[in-house]
Each structure stands twice: as structure tokens, then as C-alpha cells.
A and B are shown apart, each in its own frame.
Chain A
């Protein structure tokens, strides 16, 4: 077991080593930097190996218990509300007290058969086998199960220490970490290998960029190939994402979060000669700044609320999650007690001045802030605008960004922070996810560029994940993250294959590629089927079927208990499933079947080389099987996620708004919930596919007819709901106007003041110089001159004639006497 942190840390640091090697020696490695691809790919393959071995060790030491999966069956009426508990007025935030509470709850927690505790003596460094508890106060709720998640957490090195605040470099390993490490390295490996083929033209000494349209007469841009640079960024990207996954504290999360951001900036702007790419990269970066500002606020708020930045308990202090979970639990109890006693539930009993309610609001603020960062990274509704533009980067990079790294980081972080997120924040997450999945789904319907459709699809699917997480489907949301990573990477690689073959991504010029590129077409079909969640409800299907079903089941469970809001959520999700089927098969049909709209492209089309097809086939296989469990052992992705699920099996109720209550996820596995939800998703998806077949596959109806029939709707969708336009008009133009005003003030007023001041100083200096030269120097010089003159005059007296001297003496004495007599 002690090996697992070492293995995963190695897996994390290998891409960094590759990055450094390629940075320093990239151009010298092989012809035009060909060797840098070998270095980077070798590093990521080693990382993958380490991660897989670590996963194997993990499963060996912490086998998945089957009892937890059926916890719902055993628990009976789980939807009963948490009964009001007696108040604990002496509750304080003092760390020592919390620590002692953790101690007692450790000893009192019914450990049962759910988790396996083990003390390992020879721990690496100061690693401690910390078992993460959602620990509640002692004797609190008998109906609350205490789930302990097996976790390996520890610190390699304390980066800095400011009083109580420690900024460590450490690791936090639970089943989610293991799963993410494996997923990221698998996808990154596939994309590294694929890039050998896709980026091959960068190997030439000079590359002519034909994408840049120039006006007549000006030759196209010619630049040196940047093969090594590409793999350098790719390695840094992998390193950043793995570091983010492995992080055990807010400080590390933020550092790697920003590293991921800068890598995406570098890669989106990889073709830096293209103005569109530069704009897109800048847009991605700036939009992410907006989110990251919220994230910084959130980090500060979490730190203020819990007094620590480390996730798990260590020997001295309780971890962030422990304290946050206690705060949440306490607020829920206070609220339910206050609801009965005072008829008010909008505030904790002490009112707004109560420091405890302040702490809870800090927790809310922290959760919102973290989610704000995730909205930026995961391209959710208000900040989704950067993702479609990010398609300017090389296609494998889009695959990496959309599947494993950048946008996955946001969803992962929400999942990681789940124990610390209060229900009110989850409501906002669910709402944002719902809006995103709907808006992006509709935008994808009219997009013409193959990659842009996939980009909108990503936003939509990320919306599903956020929605799933927000409505309490922690396992469902993260499960969808993993499966989506596989099929979205696959879809992007297939799109890249098409673009590589035809040099265009415009679907209005494609069509009929099925015969020319059978491998690409079939693997892409697998990806499309996976993304719509193809499968027959009672039996099963591709990976997307399971993950999407899990989200739908949770939504259905919520809707069956909750109010209007929950029903709206469910209906939008169903609508989203319909849209998914429609847009993704529109893409497939437009690209691969039907007559070619531009024979020129079809003529030159060719199947991609094997180095590109192999990762596609591998990802296609993974897209099919990712939802299944390993035969005989029962190991599956949701099983692993369940192991990492730290939530108690209770209804999570909002202290501020009791109508918002999240049922435990295990209840959604019940047949009467799961089955209708499954059929709902199936019908919606099938309807979408059928619609796409009618319009684009069989072309019984003309899609452009619809555009003509509903011009307003079409324009609305084509202009992406005018959100970009709105930002452009409102935020960008106001900012630009403001910048102009500021620039004017700067130039006209501040510069004038500065220039005037400088001029005055110059004049004064000139006058002072004159004074210095003429008066001061003049005085000094004239004194010196006078002394010199006097000396040279007096010098003549000294003739060397002794008798003359004597005569002078005598004469002088006589004169002196005479003078003395006269006076």
C-alpha cells in the first residue's frame, strides 16, 4: 500500500521531466524535433503504467465492497428527513475542539464492513493513512450512517508556512483520484500517439500555413515547424492535470488549476500566426480569469471558514472537508430546530450577527467561489463562450482539453469539493448545468463546423455532469465525466481524422466520406452512439448509457419527491437528451453519408494512417466498455466511485431553503425509479436520432426548410443566443470604451502632468547648472587663481642673494619702526 503514493507521484512527475527535457533539448532531439514526441509519449506511457499498477494495488488493498452498492435496499425509508436534534450551543470553531470531536467520532463511528481500516507502519515521508470522515458530533443522529472513505493522504514537502497556515505539496488519493489518474493518462497517451500522425507536417523544416487567408499578392505565412513545441506543451498539460488530480490542498489545486489554464492558452494559440487562434486563446484566458477570480475568493472564504487549506485531517488539525461537513451538518440541524421553534428558517438562530451563521455564509461563499472557477474552466453557462472558439487549436489538443484536462478539471473539482459544498451551492450548480446543457445543445444544432458541434456538445455534456452533481448524483456526475472523456476524445480524434483527410471542418462541404474513410466513420459512429447513451434499458448498452442513466435516475428521483423546480430540471434534461441525439447524428450524417457537397474534398480524402487509427480504435473500445464491470470481479467505474463517496445515506437538506432537499443517491438505484428514468432517456435519445435520420440521413425533409420557416429561431441559435454578441456589446465594448477613456486620461492628463513636471525639473536643473558653473565654480576658481597669482608674484622676491634678503629685513624693520613711531 505504501507504494501507491510513490507510483502516482511518479506518474505525475514524469510528464514534467519530459516537459523539461523537451524544453531544453527539443529542437535537437532527432530531425526537426522528432525525438521530442518519443520522449513525451514515453513519459506518458510510463505514467499510464504507473497509474494502472497503482489502481491494481488499490483494488488489492481496498477491495470494492458489494454491500455498499445495495445500501439503499437495506436502509428502508431513507427519505425521512433528518429529525431535529438538540442544539449544541457550545459549538465552537476552535480547532482543538474540532480535533477532539473528530477523535471521539472516530471512536464512535460504526465502522462496520463498509470500509477497511489499516494502519501502515512504514509510511512514506510523513504520510499518514488518514481516513476521511464526514464526522458528526457525538451521539448526534442515529439514523445517519457514517461512511468512511479509504484515503491515502500525506505530504511530501511543506512549501511554505505562515503561522497556522501551511502550504504543502502532498497527495490525496482515494478511488476518485485513482480513477482520474488512469483516465487522464489513458486519454493523454492516445492523444500523444495520435498527434504523431496529425502533427506530422510540423516536422518539415518550414511549414506553409494555408489556413491564413491572405489578400492577393501577399504570399502565405511560412514558418519553421514546431513539432517539439507541441509535445512540450502537451507534457506540461498532462503534468498540470495530474497534479490537480493528486492535490491535497487548496494551494496546490490553485497552482495546477492555473497551470492547466496557461497550457490551454498555449495550445489553443498554437498556430500563433492565425489571428483567430490568437483571439481564441486570449478569449479563453480572459474568460477563465473571470472564473478564477471567483475561485480565489472561494479559496479565501474556505480558508476563513475552516482555518485550513488541506483537505484531510492530519495529526495536528482537522481537514477542510471534515470542518466543512461539520459546519453543514450543524447548520442543517440548527435550521430544522429553528424552523420548529421560531417559525423562521432563513437564518441560523443567532441571526445574521451570529458568528456561526457568518461561518456558514462563508462556506456558501467558498462553495460559490470554487464553483465560479469551475464554471470558467468547464465552460458552463455564463462563461461558456470561450470553448467554441477554442477550436482554433490543433484537433488533438481539443480532444485533450475536452476530454481529460481543462474542462474535466472543473467537474472534477466540484466532485472533489463535494463534502464541503452546501446544498444551496448545489442548487446553483444544478441550475447552471441545466441551462448550459440546454443552451449548448440547441447551439450545436445549427453549427456548421464539425469541431464546433463537438465543442457545443462538450458544453452540453458538461452541463449534464454539473446537473448530476448539483442534484446529488455525485457518482452519476463523475461517472459521466469518465465515460464522456472516452467518447468525447474519440469523437474529436475522428473529427481530426476527417479534417486531416479533407483539410476542412465545414460540414456543408463534406458528405459521403463513409466509403473513403470506413475506419473513421465506424469509430465515430461508436462515439456518437456512446454520447447519446445508446442501449436497451433493461439490458445495457454503451458506456454513455450507464452514466447518463444514472444522472436521469437521480433527476427522476428528485422530481418524484421535489417541487416544480425539480420537474423543470428533469424535463430540460430529457429535452437535452433529445438534442444530443439530434445534433450528434446530424454531424455524423452530414459528414459521412449522402452526396458529397464538394467533390474536390471527397476526391482527396483518404483514410488516416494507422498511428492515428490505433488510438481511435482503442478509445472506441473504451467508449463501449467503460460502463461495464469487469467479469467475475464486479469491479466497475461506478463501483470505484461509490467507494470514494463520502456522503452519509441521508437527505441533504438546505438550511436556508428547506424545499431544496437532495435525496441520497443510492435510492435512485431502486427499480421503480431507475426503470422509468431509463426509458425516458432512451425515448428522448431515440427520438433525436430518428429526427436526425429523417432530416439528414434519409433526407426526407429538408433541414434548410426549417431554417426558412423559423428564421428568428434559426438566427437565435446561429448567433448562439446572442450571448457572445451581448458580451461583445456590453462587456467588451464597455471595457474598450473605458480603456479608451483611461488611455485618453493617461495620455492627455497624466502624461501632461508628468511632462510638465519633467519640463519644470529640466528648467530648474538648467538654472541650477548655470548658478553652479558661474557662481560657485567661479568663486572657487577665482580664489584659487588669486592665490596662484599672488604666489607667482611673491616668488620673485626670493632671489637667492643673501645680502638682498638681509637688506630687505633691515629696510622692513626700519619701516616698521617708522610706522610704529608715526602711529
Chain B
């Protein structure tokens, strides 16, 4: 039986990350971009949790909750960020009637 190691988690995280990145690069819908962003953040979270787990990494004894804590922080921050981003999306929609990111180029230099 193949034991589950950190590498497996990494592979899952990479798949998540790549999916998120692909989503961000391809979607013209702002909501889609935000979804891609969430995937990227979750990919990172998987890495944090896996690397932070003493069982998996076989690291030093102790409480060993660093990775989990950071993951929790990321989730909280992502929630806050999504709230702000959705606010921006809403007001953008009010202004332009669409949620196309390519339309949002008014602040370019």
C-alpha cells in the first residue's frame, strides 16, 4: 500500500494551484478570477497544513500547529479579501454593466 506522504499533498496542492492559475488567466469574468484566486489560496493552504503536520513531516515533537495556524489565517484573510473584492465587483458592475476584467483598464498609466 502506498503510504500517503507530503509529496502527495504537494501534488494535490500543485494541481489546485495550476487550476486556480489557469482559471485566473483564462476567465474574463471577474467572479471567475476570484474563484481562481480562491483555488490558488487553497492550494497554498494544503501545502501549509501538510508541511505543518508533525505526522506527515516527522518533524520535532511539540504542539506543531504553525502550519495549521497560518492556514487558518489565510482562510480568514481570503474571506475578508473576497468580501472586499466582491464589493469592488458590485460597484464595477454598477458602473459598467459588465464584470469583464478587460474592461477594467481605466487606471493604466
The proximity string for B residues 97-109 relative to A, scoring 1 for CB distances below 8 Å and 0 otherwise, is 0000110111111
Contact A799 B105 (CB under 8 A): yes
Which residues from A are CB-within-8-Å of B101?
Answer: 801-803
Does A107 belong to the interface (CB within 8 Å)?
no
The proximity string for A residues 790-803 relative to B, scoring 1 for CB distances below 8 Å and 0 otherwise, is 00000100111111
Does B25 belong to the interface (CB within 8 Å)?
yes
- B-facing residues in A345-364 (Cβ within 8 Å): none
Which residues from A are CB-within-8-Å of B50?
Answer: none
Which residues from A are CB-within-8-Å of B89?
Answer: none
Does A807 belong to the interface (CB within 8 Å)?
yes
Q: Contacts A807-B25, A810-B21 hold; do A802 and B104 have CB atoms under 8 A apart?
A: yes
Contact B33 A799 (CB under 8 A): no
Which residues from A are CB-within-8-Å of B21?
Answer: 806, 810
Which residues from B are CB-within-8-Å of A799?
Answer: 105, 108
Q: Give complex CA distance A351, B88 in Å.
A: 115
Contact A800 B33 (CB under 8 A): no
Contact A806 B105 (CB under 8 A): no
Tally chain A residues at the interface, Cβ within 8 Å: 10
Q: Give complex CA distance A802, B102 in Å.
A: 7
Which residues from A are CB-within-8-Å of B24?
Answer: 803, 806
The proximity string for A residues 629-658 relative to B, scoring 1 for CB distances below 8 Å and 0 otherwise, is 000000000000000000000000000000
In this complex, what residue of B is CB-closest to A792? B109
In this complex, what residue of A is CB-closest to B102? A801
- Output the least CB separation between A310 and chain B (Å): 89
Contact B25 A800 (CB under 8 A): no
Which residues from A are CB-within-8-Å of B104?
Answer: 800, 802
- Output the least CB separation between A351 and chain B (Å): 102
Which residues from A are CB-within-8-Å of B33?
Answer: 802-803
In this complex, what residue of B is CB-closest to A803? B25
Which residues from A are CB-within-8-Å of B105?
Answer: 799-801
Which residues from A are CB-within-8-Å of B106?
Answer: 800
Q: Give complex CA distance A803, B26 in Å.
A: 8
- Output the least CB separation between B88 and chain A (Å): 12
Which residues from B are CB-within-8-Å of A806?
Answer: 21, 24-25
Contact A798 B108 (CB under 8 A): yes
Contact A795 B25 (CB under 8 A): no
- Output the least CB separation between B32 and chain A (Å): 11
- Output the least CB separation between A650 and chain B (Å): 113
- Output the least CB separation between A386 and chain B (Å): 91
Which residues from A are CB-within-8-Å of B108?
Answer: 798-800
Q: Give complex CA distance A798, B109 in Å.
A: 6
Q: Give complex CA distance A803, B33 in Å.
A: 9
- B-facing residues in A781-823 (Cβ within 8 Å): 795, 798-803, 806-807, 810
Which residues from B are CB-within-8-Å of A795?
Answer: 109
Which residues from B are CB-within-8-Å of A800?
Answer: 104-108
Q: Give complex CA distance A803, B104 in Å.
A: 11
Q: Give complex CA distance A803, B21 in Å.
A: 10
Which residues from A are CB-within-8-Å of B109?
Answer: 795, 798
In this complex, what residue of A is CB-closest to B26? A803
In this complex, what residue of A is CB-closest to B108? A800
- A-facing residues in B10-61 (Cβ within 8 Å): 21, 24-26, 28, 33
Q: Give complex CA distance A416, B105 in Å.
A: 106
- Output the least CB separation between B27 and chain A (Å): 8
- B-facing residues in A644-678 (Cβ within 8 Å): none
Which residues from B are CB-within-8-Å of A807?
Answer: 25
- Output the least CB separation between A86 and chain B (Å): 113
Q: Give complex CA distance A81, B107 in Å.
A: 122
Q: Give complex CA distance A801, B106 in Å.
A: 10
- Output the least CB separation between B74 and chain A (Å): 19
In this complex, what residue of B is CB-closest to A800? B105
Which residues from B are CB-within-8-Å of A803?
Answer: 24-26, 28, 33, 101-102
- Output the least CB separation between A784 and chain B (Å): 19
In this complex, what residue of B is CB-closest to A807? B25
Which residues from B are CB-within-8-Å of A802?
Answer: 33, 101-102, 104
In this complex, what residue of B is CB-closest to A801? B102
- B-facing residues in A125-152 (Cβ within 8 Å): none
- Output the least CB separation between B54 and chain A (Å): 29
Q: Give complex CA distance A435, B28 in Å.
A: 128
Q: Give complex CA distance A802, B21 in Å.
A: 13
Q: Give complex CA distance A806, B107 in Å.
A: 16
In this complex, what residue of B is CB-closest to A795? B109
The proximity string for B residues 65-109 relative to A, scoring 1 for CB distances below 8 Å and 0 otherwise, is 000000000000000000000000000000000000110111111
In this complex, what residue of A is CB-closest to B109? A798
In this complex, what residue of A is CB-closest to B107? A800
Q: Give complex CA distance A477, B100 in Å.
A: 125
- Output the least CB separation between B96 and chain A (Å): 13
- Output the least CB separation between B33 and chain A (Å): 7
Q: Give complex CA distance A806, B26 in Å.
A: 11
Q: Give complex CA distance A798, B108 in Å.
A: 6
In this complex, what residue of A is CB-closest to B101? A802
Ordered by A's residue number, 15 sampled pairs between the chains whose C-beta atoms are within 8 Å are: A798-B109, A799-B108, A800-B104, A800-B105, A800-B106, A800-B107, A800-B108, A801-B101, A801-B105, A802-B104, A803-B24, A806-B21, A806-B24, A807-B25, A810-B21
Q: Beyond A801-B105, A803-B25: 8 further Cβ-contacts under 8 Å?
A: A795-B109, A798-B109, A800-B106, A802-B33, A802-B104, A803-B28, A806-B24, A807-B25
Sorted from nearest, which 5 A-B pairs have the closest CB atoms?
Answer: A800-B105, A800-B108, A798-B109, A802-B101, A798-B108
Interface residues of B (CB under 8 A from A): 21, 24-26, 28, 33, 101-102, 104-109
